[in-house]
Amino acid sequence: MAVVAGIDIGGTNIEGAIVDDDHSVGDSVKVPTPTEGPEAVAEAIKGLLEELGAEVDGIGVGIPGPVNAGVVTTPPNLEGWQKSVNLKALLATTLEIPVEVGNDVNVAVLGEWSAGAGKGSQNLLGVWMGTGIGGGLILGGRPYNGTTGHAGEFGHMIVRPGGAQCGCGHRGCIEAYAGRNSMEDTARRAVDGGAASTTLFSIMEDKGKDRATSSVWVKALKNEDALAVRLFGEAVEAVAVGIASVMSLLDLDRVVIGGGLAEKMGEELVERLWAAVEPHCFVPMDSVEFVVAGLEDYSGIVGAAALGRAGLLLGG
């Protein structure tokens, strides 16, 4: 059986592990994500594979950004990347093994569908709630990436025309209300403008964080911080409107909620979302299961390896 590694490229770290064909994950290795651009990232992955200490036959890679046929089509949210890059070709040349590349959340959803909370689903939407809002689709029992690799960009569905400014340049995207970075910026503006006070930033300092992480939000919500409660309510509503619309369009059988916030809040988040989707939904709610991602940090690695293994089988 071929030895395949799954690699998860994040803004801070690159993490990788050997993943067996039954999707069990070996000891993982983490290296800092270089800030000097694609070639440096390729070299870091080479070093990571050496550290894994096995002869690897092929790899799959997840990266934040839309991916079309191995090309990361717009600069991903990574320091030092200025333009589209054929990461598949670059890695294949650097590593001299077959490589498959996918969008990080599409790959994580593939991981959950292969071995986690999405197992057995035919029509699945994955929504990943973290610094941004990502998504991924399984349709008709197959991963669906769309015409140009942009399918599943759930965070950039528009729920309020002319609404809040999103990092993508558009207004009213789900991410502009529910992405952790957007929520933090909104909170900061409210405080700086004197319109509200909040414990968010003091919790952040106490925890020694320079951004409001999921655990900071969870603590503020537990303290019934009024601003945090209001912004979180708006986030849930924006995500719920998006899920209800996707359900009406695609007649799903499962919705998997993942990402940092889902890891911290679990069932509570899923129940909040279900209750907020229900009033908007055209299709019967009892035909759709809402679940928390089951592989936690490893959905990206498992999915990337599944992608890499599928590539090897296709001779790709």
Q: Which residues bind Zn ion (CB under 5 A)?
A: 156, 166, 168, 170, 173
Minimum distance from residue 156 beta carbon to Zn ion (Å):
4
At a CB cut-off of 8 Å and minimum separation 6, what does 50 contact? none
| E strand segments, the chain | 4-9, 13-19, 29-32, 58-63, 67-68, 71-72, 85-86, 99-103, 124-129, 133-139, 142-144, 254-258, 289-292
Please tell me the distance from the alpha carbon of residue 215 to that of residue 132, in angstroms, as a whole number. 15
Q: How many CA atoms lie within 13 A of 177 on its CB side?
A: 27
- Closest contact distance (angstroms) between CB of 187 and Zn ion is 19
Q: Which is nearer to Zn ion, 28 or 131 (CB)?
A: 131
Q: Which residue, 23 or 156, has its beta carbon nearer to Zn ion?
A: 156
Task: For Zn ion, give the closer residue by CB, 26 or 163.
Answer: 163
| Residue with token string 């200025």 | 82
**Closer residue to Zn ion (CB): 7 or 133:** 133
- Tell me the C-alpha to C-alpha distance, in Å, between residue 266 and each of 65, 91, 213: 26, 36, 15
Q: From residue 73, how far is each of 4, 7, 134, 165 by CA, in Å?
A: 25, 19, 16, 22
Tokens of 40: 């440096």
* Contact between 155 and 174 (Cβ < 8 Å): yes
Q: Give whichever of 57 and 234 is closer to Zn ion, judged by the CB atom.
A: 234
Q: How far is the CB of 66 from Zn ion (least distance, A)?
A: 12
* Closer residue to Zn ion in complex, CB, 155/300: 155
Q: Give least dist CB 165 to Zn ion, A.
A: 9
| Cβ 158 to Zn ion shortest distance, Å | 8
> Least distance in Å: CB of 175 to Zn ion?
5
